[in-house]
Structure 1
């Protein structure tokens, strides 16, 4: 018989549904749900990739804008260098003789007419040169605000016209003054400068600095060209790799989360399958034990005809019980057929079955039912009876010693309400939010499937609710079932109105 039931269990194709024993239509539904889950996963992957690409694109745009800004800064710095060089060259006074003459005039030692008649053209050139000189404050601003503080943090090297000999550098990992180093250290520093210069040549085109100066030897104007080589700042480089680092950490987090959730899901599925096997064995245990007893009794030669008829009748009852167990498992996972039935009849039948299972040494446990004669709701008799059995068995397990179990059924506001009350040990507050979670159990050898499946049967299949109405540690608990009412059927056998 166990093999027969497990053969029926093997028909379950929807492995993600606990205790799912489904017909072909449910298999197609499960396949359809699986396809949608695959599409959902692919959609989430595509969405994650879009977010990653958008992040990379936006960061790239920020880096480009920051790089353009740094190019403007380095251009300003190069222009400032050229301006200072021109100012320093122009600061060499070519009209010192004429200005000495003006000084003597101001001191009163020479008459103005004498100086102007001597060389008036030279005096006019000296005045024109003085007017063309930049204000002192402008040069001070360039030196004090742009060149000396080094506010840009952009690595740069100024070379000669051949673009090979570094003359000045900033923000590179080389000392500013090589003369203070030893010969070996100075040679190593120059090699490092050469490496930095090669990197800068590959990164950006150099910025030329052109300025004219007066050669004191020939007293002629000559042009000098130097080049500014530069590279991206450390901030830009960090921004370039930041999105990849960020995506790496996010990917690692997602991977760890996925592996963790997969492990938890596999553990829950394993517990559910083991629990299903235990539940099946538990459901089959009583009728099988009874069948074994009646079979041994039938083998007796001294068995009377009346006892033989009684044994055959009980065997038929046990076979019917096994059939109901098989039907219950077959209904779970598929949409069962509901029909208007008298809930009171199911309650009394189930309570009578549980009452006969109370151990002989625990007859001090009473089980009573308070329900009106007519209490109709749309239910599946097998599954609803199974829910009541689970609640009543849990109530029995919660009572240690004397106690009482009461089933109270009422009708309020078009709702059938069934309370299963016990005077057992109660449920601790911290465990109340988890009692309907698959795998959670307060019993030492429990698998945490009974309440989970019972809630699923009531809520998913019957459109009702199953909840813990109240519980006090040491006083007992009350579980409440609520179902929509239904009109009494005109044909109770078929459940048709």
Structure 2
């Protein structure tokens, strides 16, 4: 399948996105590997701490306290030791300001202190949710349980890669947006300049052709000759095309026109320039009016009708219906063909630059059509419905100028 130049940047974007996902996945996997190793190391230290407590409780020799005490005091992870009834016996690495609650007393009364039960209850619940306890035997048949939780370093390490990737993603998004905007602006300036220069270059030969046609009419007395009339129509069409290119890059002026009349005039011009196997029909009311720039709106109709003609293989029909809605103050134009249809998953894709089903197509027609309808006429265009092998309906919605003149019709 041939890849158009407009599809290539999109493919590169997908490849870069896939590469970014691989890097992010690798970073998360390596961080998880480090987290597991540190977590295992902390559990080992917690086990050693538990054994040091057991050693201190079971030893009667004061001289043997030195090493177990040093081991006990070296633990860096928060821990709580409880007995069989879950009464707290020892704590380590917790907030010292939460260890007790000062009781306010009157003068002459001794101040008593006690543990903060709510604080330790929350800490113990948190530890139970993180790790399985370490069981140590105390005084024969009795046992204590050592609960602990991750250190601050390990907790930060778990979160750090997500913060890091988020910051990098935001930076790349901002940089990509700025770069794309700058690049698109430069491209637009080039295309606008090229379009205006093309319109300027077309002006001279078009004027000459109009003059030659007038001379032919006078010389051969052919004022009503149908062939010369069609030649004149084509030259006027060239004038319209040149006018379109000259207006690229500037805001077009919208004037109030009968939508039905504009559509019918263009369809009448277009029908004699395609196969006579295709039947054209225009339905609607001339009273429906909207703000239009005729050269640009004719371009919209031309792209839709050409797209419909290309979709029809053999005999077929194209119907353009113009109707309105009083409740929404809209003028609606449906272009329906009996062509090969569009898959439902492609309803949005057909408007993207580069999408085409023709071997020699550039995939710009419907993309330009959408831009002219939405950006220049403040309307909308979409695929209303389509069925493979039966045909497609494109719908254009414009804001009506005169609401009282709208004719209600079935959508």
Normalised to the residue count of structure 2, the TM-score between the two structures is 0.50
CA contact (8 A) 2:213 2:228 kept: no
The within-5 A match list for 1:353-392 is 353-358=269-274, 362-392=275-305
**CA–CA distance in 2 between the matches of 1:294 and 1:323?**
10
- Specify which of 347, 350, 358 is matched with residue 432 of structure 1: 347
Report if the CA contact (8 A) 2:192-2:249 is conserved.
no
Q: How many residues align?
A: 281
| Structure 1 residue 349 displacement after superposition | 1.3
Distance in 1 (CA, whole Å) between partners of 2:342 and 2:373 is 21
Structure-2 residue corresponding to 1:340: 256
Superposed CA RMSD in Å reads 5.5
- Partners of 1:267 and 1:307 in 2: how far apart? 53
1:108-147 equivalences in 2 (<5 Å): 147=69
Q: Is the 8 A contact 1:290 1:318 kept in 2?
A: no
Per-residue deviation at 1:484?
A: 2.5
Could you report, residue by residue, the CA deviation over 1:250-281 in whole angstroms, capped at 9, with x for unpaired residues? 4554576678879998999999999999999x
Paired residue secondary structure (1:435): helix
Task: Name the SS for the 1:478 alignment partner.
Answer: strand
Matched, 1:403 2:319: no
SS in 2 for 1:405: strand
CA distance in 1, matches of 2:255, 2:195: 26
1:443 to 358, 361, 364: 358
8 Å contact from structure 2 (residues 319, 337) kept in 1: yes
Matched, 1:324 2:240: yes
Corresponding residue for residue 456 of structure 1: 371
State the match for 1:467 in structure 2: 382
Aligned residue runs from structure 1 range 229-244, under 5 A: none
Contact 2:381 2:397 in 1 (8 A): yes
Partner of 1:33: none
Shift of 1:305: 1.8
Q: Distance in 1 between matches of 2:282 and 2:222?
A: 32
Paired with 2:219 and 2:369, the residues of 1 have a C-alpha distance of 43
The residue that corresponds to 1:190 in the other structure is none
Q: For 1:277 and 1:406, how far apart are their aligned partners in 2?
A: 37
Deviation sequence 1:313-342 (CA, Å, 0-9, x none): 666544432221122234444332112111
CA contact (8 A) 2:333 2:395 kept: yes
- For 1:479, the equivalent position in structure 2 comes to 394
| Cα deviation code 1:439-465 (max 9, x no counterpart) | 333333333322222222223332322
Please say if residues 275 and 447 of structure 1, whose CA atoms lie closer than 8 Å, have aligned partners that are also in contact: no
Greater Rg over alpha carbons, structure: 1
Q: 1:27 maps to which residue? A: none
Deviations, residues 105-129 of structure 1 (Å, cap 9, x unaligned): xxxxxxxxxxxxxxxxxxxxxxxxx
User: Retained in 2: the 8 A contact 1:340–1:487?
Assistant: no
Compared CA separation, residues 289 and 365, structure 1 to 2 (3 A): farther
State the distance in 2 between where 1:446 and 1:277 align.
Answer: 24
Secondary structure in 2 matching 1:357: coil
Counterpart CA distance in 1 for 2:295 and 2:358 is 26
Structure with more relative contact order (C-alpha pairs < 8 Å, separation 6 or more): 1
* Cα separation, 1, equivalents of 2:63 and 2:175: 73
Residues 406/240 of structure 1: CA separation in 2 closer, same or farther (3 Å cut): closer
Task: Say which SS state the counterpart of residue 272 (structure 2) adopts.
Answer: helix
Query: Who is 1:100 aligned against?
Result: none
Instruction: In structure 1, list runs of 5 or more residues that go unmatched.
Output: 1-73, 75-80, 92-138, 156-233, 489-497
- Give the drift of 1:370: 1.5
Specify the SS of the correspondent of 2:321.
Answer: strand
Q: Where do 5+ consecutive residues of structure 2 fail to align?
A: 1-48, 50-54, 78-149, 404-411
Residue pair 1:459, 1:465 contacting (<8 A) in 2 also: yes
